[in-house]
A and B are shown apart, each in its own frame.
Chain A
Amino acid sequence: MNLSRKDMLGIVDLPREEIDLILDTAESFKEISTRTIKKVPTLRGKTVITLFFEASTRTRTSFEIAAKRLSADTINISASTSSVVKGETLIDTAKNLESMNPDIIIIRHSAAGAAHILAGLLEQSIINAGDGAHEHPTQALLDMLTIREKKGTMEGLKIAIVGDIAHSRVARSNIYGLTKMGANVAVCGPAMMIPRDMDQMGVSVYYNMEDAIKDADVVMMLRMQLERQEKNLFPSLREYANHFSLNRDNIKLAKNDVIVMHPGPVNRGVEISPEIADGPSSVILEQVTNGVAVRMALLYLLSGGRK
Chain B
Amino acid sequence: MRLLLKGGRVIDPSQNIDTVTDILIEDGKISRIEKGISLPEADSGGDLKIFDLKDKIVTPGLIDMHTHLREPGFEYKETVRTGSEAAVAGGFTSIACMANTDPVNDNRSVTEFIHKQARLAAMANVYPIAAISKGQDGKVLTEFGDLKNAGAVAFSDDGNPVTDSGLMRHALEYAYSFNMPVISHCEDTGLSSGGLMHEGFVSTQLGLPGIPGISEDIMVIRDIRLAGFTKTRVHIAHVSTAGSVQAVREAKSAGINVTAETAPHYFTLTDEALRGFSTNFKMYPPLRGADDVEAIKEGLRDGTIDAIASDHAPHSSVEKDVEFEYAANGITGLETSLPLCLKLVDDGILTINQLVEKMSVNPADILKIPKGSLKTGSDADITVVDMNKIWTVDTDTFRSKGRNCPFNGWKLKGKAVMTIVGGDVKYADSGFQI
Q: A-side interface residues toward B, CB under 8 Å?
A: 12, 85, 89-91, 109-114, 116-117, 131-135, 167, 169, 172, 195-198, 200-201
Contacts and interface: CB of A to CB of B under 8 A. Distances in A.
A90 B323 contact: yes
Given A111-B323, A200-B201, 6 more contacts: A12-B205, A111-B325, A112-B208, A113-B277, A113-B325, A172-B207
A134 B322 CA distance: 17
Contacts of A135: 207
5 contacts: A112-B324, A172-B205, A197-B201, A197-B204, A198-B204
B379 interface: no
Contact of B208 (A85, A90, A110, A134): A134
A133 B208 contact: yes
A111 B199 contact: no
Chain A interface SS verdict (over half): mixed
Interface in B163-217: 199-201, 203-210, 212
In this complex, the interface size class of chain B, counting residues with CB under 8 Å from chain A, is: 20 to 34
B190 to A, nearest CB: 11
Nearest to A135: B207
A111 B206 CA distance: 11
Contacts, number: 65
A116 B200 contact: no
Interface in B266-291: 276-277
Contact of B321 (A85, A91, A111, A132): A91
B325 to A, nearest CB: 4
Nearest to A169: B207
A196 B205 contact: no
Nearest to B212: A196
A196 B204 contact: yes
Given A196-B199, A196-B200, A197-B200, A117 B323 contact: yes
A112 B207 contact: yes
A112 B204 CA distance: 12
B76 interface: no
Nearest to A121: B321
B207 A132 contact: yes
Nearest to A91: B321
A132 B321 CA distance: 18
Contact of B324 (A89, A91, A113, A198): A113
Contacts of A117: 277, 323
A192 to B, nearest CB: 12
Contacts of B200: 196-197
B136 to A, nearest CB: 23
